[in-house]
């Protein structure tokens, strides 16, 4: 994996883990210093994260982490639980069937989040 892709992976994980605070601005300079790398791979990673809708750029201020709302977090949890209980569990119990209708509904919901650019909810 190259430096740019590795930086993207590290920053994405920092965002998802909550290591980068959502209520403050982050700059390329501070992020590159924190990761002890040059600004170029950080800039590349931030562009990718913006395309993933995990961050937003604010001119002359830096970037901010997008915030998932509690209702979206609750919906993701419900979707995950439904997926596990209705799609995977029968396979684990040896029944050999999957509720494809429910799986399709959950995928459709995920795609709707993705299509409106809400990657945080999509994940």
Is 3's pLDDT higher than 70? yes
Domain 3-65, architecture per CATH: Orthogonal Bundle (1.10)
Taking the whole predicted model, whether its pTM rises above 0.75 is answered as: no
**Is 26 strand, coil or helix?**
strand
Q: What are 13-60's pLDDT values in tens digits? A: 888 778 888 888 999 999 999 999 999 999 999 999 998 888 999 999
Q: Rounded to an integer, what distance in angstroms lies between the CA atom of residue 78 and that of residue 3?
A: 36
Highest mean pLDDT: which of 33-47, 59-73, 102-116? 33-47
Q: Rounded to an integer, what distance in angstroms lies between the CA atom of residue 8 and that of residue 46?
A: 7
Any idea where the domains of the chain sit in the sequence?
A: 3-65, 70-122
């Amino acid at each position: 994996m190259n430096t740019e892709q590795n930086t993207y992976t590290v920053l994405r994980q920092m965002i998802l883990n909550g290591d980068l605070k959502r209520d403050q601005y982050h700059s390329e300079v501070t992020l590159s210093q924190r990761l002890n790398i040059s600004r170029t791979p950080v800039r590349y990673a931030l562009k990718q994260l913006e395309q993933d809708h995990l961050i937003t750029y604010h001119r002359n201020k830096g970037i901010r982490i997008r915030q998932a709302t509690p209702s979206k977090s609750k919906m993701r949890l419900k979707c995950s639980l439904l997926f596990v209980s209705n799609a995977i569990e029968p396979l684990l119990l040896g029944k050999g069937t999957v509720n494809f209708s429910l799986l399709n509904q959950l995928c459709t919901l995920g795609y709707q989040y993705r299509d409106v650019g809400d990657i945080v909810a999509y994940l």
